[in-house]
């Protein structure tokens, strides 16, 4: 029988092909743009160049996603949300 592991990292960000959603969207935009380039200028050299470019982009995005110092977006939201008054002034 197959054994299934429980997914415990539910609070981590979603990953598609090893990339966060933002980088995956960037990769898909580049792939669509490269398909447009291939369609409108159909040459063998262009096809090989686009394949090499997309492969290099994917590898570089994977490496960038492993090192989180490139993306300060993870510190956008506060860790704790509280209703505690931040001011010492009493308005009553």
Q: Is residue 25 part of a domain?
A: yes
Q: Is residue 84 part of a domain?
A: no
Helix (H) or strand (E) holding 91: none
Q: Is residue 82 part of a domain?
A: no
Say how many Å lie between the first and final Cα of the chain, rounded.
67
Q: Is residue 63 part of a domain?
A: yes
Q: Is residue 10 part of a domain?
A: no
Q: Is residue 59 part of a domain?
A: yes
Query: 27 is in which domain, residue-wise?
Result: 15-68
Please answer whether residues 18 and 62 qualify as being in contact, where contact means their C-beta atoms are separated by less than 8 angstroms.
Answer: yes
Specify the length of the chain in residues. 92
Q: Which two tokens stand for residue 37?
A: 């380039």
What is the residue-level pLDDT of the chain in tens, covering all 92 positions?
A: 788 777 666 666 777 888 888 889 999 999 999 999 999 888 899 999 999 999 999 999 988 888 766 555 555 656 667 777 666 666 65
* pLDDT at residue 50, as a whole number: 93
Q: Cα–Cα distance between 44 and 38 in angstroms, integer?
A: 9
Q: Is residue 31 part of a domain?
A: yes
Number of domains in the chain: 1
């Amino acid at each position: 029988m197959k054994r299934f592991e429980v997914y415990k990292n539910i609070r981590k960000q979603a990953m598609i092909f090893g990339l966060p959603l933002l980088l995956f969207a960037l990769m898909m935009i580049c792939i669509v743009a490269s398909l447009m380039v291939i369609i409108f200028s159909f040459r063998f050299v262009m096809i090989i160049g686009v394949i090499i470019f997309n492969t290099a982009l994917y590898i570089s995005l994977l490496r960038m996603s492993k090192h989180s110092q490139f993306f300060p977006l993870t510190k956008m939201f506060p860790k704790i949300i509280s209703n505690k008054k931040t001011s010492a002034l009493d308005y009553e």
